[in-house]
């Protein structure tokens, strides 16, 4: 993940799971920034990527 403050990479400090969600505490790798951020992961039923790309291509053809 990228630091929202400076754009450097972040690393995971702590991970814990609660109620089917994954929480992560992250810290920026940039020693001048040291920004801390918390993230939450939620399980998704998934995107049908190929179907979405196909629909976008159809829409673009209609516009042309």
Question: What's 31's DSSP letter?
Answer: T
**pLDDT reported for residue 44:** 67
Q: Where are the domains of the chain?
A: 10-63
Please report where in the chains the tokens 């400076």 appear, as a residue: 6
pLDDT truncated to tens, each residue of the chain (64 aa)? 999 999 999 999 999 998 878 999 999 999 999 999 999 987 766 777 788 888 888 888 887 6
How far is it, in rounded angstroms, from Cα 47 to Cα 32? 38
pTM of the model: 0.62
**pLDDT reported for residue 63:** 79
């Amino acid at each position: 993940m990228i630091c929202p403050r400076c754009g450097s990479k972040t690393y995971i400090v702590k991970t814990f799971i609660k109620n089917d969600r994954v929480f992560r505490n992250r810290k920026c790798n940039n020693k001048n920034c040291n920004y801390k951020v918390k993230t939450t992961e939620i399980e998704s039923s998934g995107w049908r990527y190929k179907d979405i790309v196909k629909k976008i291509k159809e829409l673009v053809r209609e516009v042309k």
